[in-house]
Every structure is written in C-alpha cells, then in structure tokens.
Amino acid sequence: MSLWIWAIGALAAIAALAWIGLCVARRLSGNAPRYRDMSYGVAFGYALALAAIAGGVWLWMKPGAVYFRWAVMGFFLCAAAAFVFRLAGRHLGPERLRRQFRKMPLTAAFGILVILIYAIVAIFAAWIAPYGQEAVLGAANVVPGGDPAMGGDPAFPLGTDRIGRDILSRLIYGAQNTVGLAFATTLLAFLLGGSLGLLAAVVGGWLDQVLSRGVDVLMAIPSLIFALLLLTIASVWADGARGLMTLYMVLIIAVIDSTRVFRLSRSVGIGIVVMDYVEAAKLRGEGMGHLVFREILPNAMAPLLAEFGLRFCFVFLTIASLSFLGVGIQPPLADWGTMVRDLAQFINFAAFAPMVALAPLLPALAIAILTVGVNFVVDWMLHRASGLKS
C-alpha cells in the first residue's frame, strides 16, 4: 500500500516540477519560441528524465548496489569502445570505408565492433582459449575474479564449473558452437524461405497457394514446442550420434524459421513484381532466374538483410533455449544456453557474494550483447535503406 502512495506522490512531484520548470523557463528566457511553444507533455518528459537521472545517482551512492554500478560502468565502457572504434574507422582504411564510418551512429559502430569481436573469437577459439572445452581440471566451483581470498584461482580468471571445467574457455568455445550453428541455420532458412517466397510472388496462382498454405500450417504450431517435438523424434533416428543430432537440430530450426522468411520475402516480392520494370522484363521474354535474381532480389535486399539480422538473433536464442532444455547442442560441447542452465544455482548467492552469482550471468551476458549488437546494425541498415529510397 505504501508503495502506491510513494509512486503517486513521486509522479505528482514530477508533474509539479515540470509545470514550475516550464513557467520559470518562459519567464527567464523572455518567452522565447522554444519554451513558449513547448507543450506541457514535453516538459513532463524532461522532468521525468531529470528524476530518472537523480534516481540513478542515488542508487550509485548506495553501498549495496554492486550490479548497478557494474552495469553503469559497463555501459560507459561499451560507449567509449564504440567511440574509439568509430574514430579509428574514420581515420584509417580506404576512403569508401571511411565515408561509411562518418555517417554511422554510435550504436551501429558498437554493433559492428561486437560482431567483429565475436567473429574473431569464434574463428580463433582454439588459439585464444587457455584450456580445451571438454577438459576437466580438478578444481571445481572456483569463484570468478581470480582472488584466492574470495575462493578464486588466478589460473581460472572466470572460475570453473561444478565438474571443474574452465568457464572462460567454455565461453570462448561457446561462441564457436552457438554462433556458428546459428549462422549456418539462419543462412539455410534464408536460402529456403527467401527463394521459395520470391518464387511464389513471381509465379503466383496455385504454386503460391500451395506454398503459402503449407507455411500457414507450419506457422500455426508454436515454434518452440514444434521444434522440441521434432527433435525428440529426431533423437530416436540419430540413435545417440552427437554429430547427427546437431545436424537434425540445424535442419529443423532452419525449416521452422524459413516460414517467417517466406512470408516476408513473398510480401516484399509481391510489391516489386507489380513494378513496370518487372513487366518490361517479362515482356522481353526473360526467364524466371533473371526475374528473381536480377530484377527482384536486388530491390528486396534491404528488408531481407534486416530480417537476416533479426532472424539470426531468434535462431540463436532458440538454440540457446533448446540447449537449456537439454535437446540442443549436446554436452560436453560448450554452449551458452547449456552453461546458463548448468550454472543457474549460483544465482542464489547474489545477495551475499556478487562474484559467485556472476558465473551464470556471463554466458547470458554474451547472448545479450550479441543480440543487442546485431539489432543495432540491423536498425542502421534499415534506416540507410529507407533513406536511399527518398
């Protein structure tokens, strides 16, 4: 009850602050157009932002708010890294690249930086990781941080898991497994869904009906449940062969996700098919290949690329959740979803030992940062694509 009173009181205070602030600003500035034409709603927004900043500062001062302080520091660190990266891009490299960097927002620079780092880590995992992903190293449950007084060990900077595998190494190999598989799956989904969708748009008629209704049927089943069901069946066929199981998983997720790609590419394609230049190409007597890949695909590229970025995130999360549920990437292969599940109990210690609770948060953070980074880049590409049109 008292929480409600607090919340209403705070809102009323912010509202009053906004009103007083607006009056004062108008008086002080001699009724300048900027303040004169500012609506109360905008002023309230400013007041709310001010209150949020004040709240943030207060939280920062509070002794117990370790995670909040880490989050704020991490935010500024990421922003600084992105800024430096963009600055480097603007002054190094060929002229064409520099021009791209000059128009780039900070968010996109951050996204590209993240994707680059992940790609490098994934490709060179075997050289970067201090230990093998399957190596059991004896010392179990070492706390992250490398401080012996807190139960850490300098040999394992991010600690070890319950059976003594190095978390840092597994995180690095996880990039290879999870990101690599997600990339392959998304690519497959796009080849399948994209080409069928454009084909349906160009040919139309019964082919379009058959493909679209088939996709509708697949989409009618909740995707995660459907994937679980199919994977259970597939696990019988695979008969314990780990590589085969992973292949089935890639195929199943690719097919399920290709339905979304099909929908998008078909609707984008239908918008392009009615253009006069496609009609001109048809009347010229061009074949289906030329129509789809020369006339339509280049114009559908911007939305499809954007969808690729988003779809990649979804596939990636699906693989992580399937692994979390135990049917995805099979142990002992390192995978971020499985790691979150394995280390999940440590979160209970968050109140007493922030460092211990960090263990399950690290793979989760790895997933989150990549998702955010990819989305930033996608946003930027969409923005550029729409800007090109006008």
Partner 1 sequence: MTPLLEIRDLRIEGRSDEAWHPIINGIDLTLGRGEVLGLIGESGAGKSTLGLAAMGYVRDGVRISGGAVVFDGIDLMTASTEEKRSLLGRRIAYVAQSAAASFNPAHKLIDQHVEAPVRHGVSGRGESVEVAIELYRKLRLPNPEEIGFRYPHQVSGGQLQRAMTAMAMSCRPDLIIFDEPTTALDVTTQIEVLAAIRDIVDQFGTSAIYITHDLAVVAQMADRIKVLLRGDEVETAPTRQMLEHPREDYTKSLWAVRGYHRPEKPAPGPDSVPILSVEGVTAAYGEQVVLEKVSFDIHPGRTVAVVGESGSGKSTTARVITGLLPPKGGAVRFEGEALPPGYRQRSKDQLRQVQMIYQMADTALNPRQTVAQIIGRPVRFYSGLRGRRLRVRVDELLDQIEMDPAIFRDRLPGELSGGQKQRIGIARALAAEPRLIICDEVTSALDQLVAEGILKLLARLQDELGLSYMFITHDLATVKAIADEVVVMKEGQVIEQGPKTAMFTPPHHPYTDLLLSSVPEMDPDWLDKLLAERGVEALGEAATGKM
Binding residues (CB under 8 A) for partner 1: these are 33, 36-37, 275-277, 279-286, 295, 298-299, 301, 388-389
Q: How far is the CB of 277 from partner 1 (least distance, A)?
A: 4
Q: How far is the CB of 344 from partner 1 (least distance, A)?
A: 49
Q: Which is nearer to partner 1, 134 or 279 (CB)?
A: 279
Is residue 115 within 8 A of residue 384, CB to CB? The reply is: no
Minimum Å gap between C-beta 38 and partner 1 is 9
Which C-beta is closer to partner 1: that of 171 or that of 278? 278
Q: Which is nearer to partner 1, 37 or 239 (CB)?
A: 37
As a whole number of angstroms, the distance between CA 43 and CA 47 comes to 6
User: What minimum distance in Å lies between the beta carbon of 81 and partner 1?
Assistant: 26
Choice between 26 and 69, CB closer to partner 1 = 26
Residue 280 C-beta: closest distance to partner 1, Å: 7
Closest distance to partner 1 from the beta carbon of 226 (Å): 37
Q: 3-state DSSP helix/strand/coil percent for the chain, to nearest 5? A: 80, 0, 20
Alpha-carbon torsion (187, 188, 191, 194), positive or negative:
negative
Closest CB to partner 1 among 140 and 280? 280
Residue with tokens 């004896």: 138
**In 92-241, alpha helices (H):** 95-102, 106-123, 125-128, 167-174, 180-203, 205-220, 223-238
Q: State how far the Cα of 221 lies from the Cα of 219, in Å rounded to an integer.
A: 5
Token digits of residue 258: 């290709």
| Residue 166 DSSP SS3 | strand
**Beta partners for 166?**
160
- For partner 1, the closer CB: 96 or 284: 284
